[in-house]
Amino acid sequence: MADTVRTGALAILAVAALTLGACQDTPSAPTKETAERTSQSSPAAAEPPAAPEPEGAPAILDLPPPGAEPRFIGHWAASAEACPSAPWRFTAEDISGPDGKACRITKTVEAPGGYDLSASCGSADEQAVQIRFAESAQAMLIASDTLGDIGLVFCGREP
C-alpha cells in the first residue's frame, strides 16, 4: 500500500510540475469588440510592454543529461533562488538536505523516467527512494517516507 500511495503522490507531483511548466501567457485572438476598442483608443492608452526579467535573477538550469553517472548527482534546491542558500546534495552514495535529513544510498537501479534507490535514512530501516525527472518542468521529483515528496530544480554539479 505504501508503494501505491508513493506512486500516487509522485504522479500528483509530476502532473503539478507539468502543469506549471505548461503555463504561459498566450494572447487570445482579438475579438471584434477588442479590435474596435483598440482602433478607437489613443496610442497613449495602449498597454506598455512587459518589463524584462531583472538582471541577476537566477535561471533554472537544464536537467543533467542521461550518461555514465546518475543524473541525480549534483546540487538541487526547491527553487533557483534557493540554490545558493539551501541546496540538497546528491552523490552516488549519499543524499543530504538543507534541513539536516540525510540518507546513505545502498542500491541504485535505473527505472523508467529516473531511478529507484534503496537507502538508509537516519535511524529508519532501509527504504525505497524514488527519483523521477519531469523533463518539461525541468524538475527532479523525490518520493520517500523519510525525505517526503518533493520537487527540486538543478543547481549544478558543484555548489
Number of folded domains that form the chain: 1
Does 52 map to a domain? no
Kindly report the CA angle at 152 between 150 and 154, in degrees rounded to 5? 160
65 or 153, greater pLDDT: 153
Does 7 map to a domain? yes
Does 36 map to a domain? no
Specify the pTM: 0.64
Please check the confidence at residue 34 and state whether its pLDDT lies above 50.
no
Does 104 map to a domain? yes
Kindly report, residue by residue over 105-129, the tens digit of the pLDDT.
999 999 999 999 999 988 778 899 9
Would you call 143 exposed, middle or buried from its count of C-beta atoms within 10 A (0-12, 13-18, 19+)? Answer: buried
Does 44 map to a domain? no
Give the lowest-confidence range in 60-64, 80-84, 113-117. Answer: 60-64
Does 35 map to a domain? no
| pLDDT for the residue 131 | 97
Does 31 map to a domain? no
Residue 152 lies in domain: 2-18+61-156
Does 125 map to a domain? yes
Average pLDDT of the segment spanning 129-136 = 95
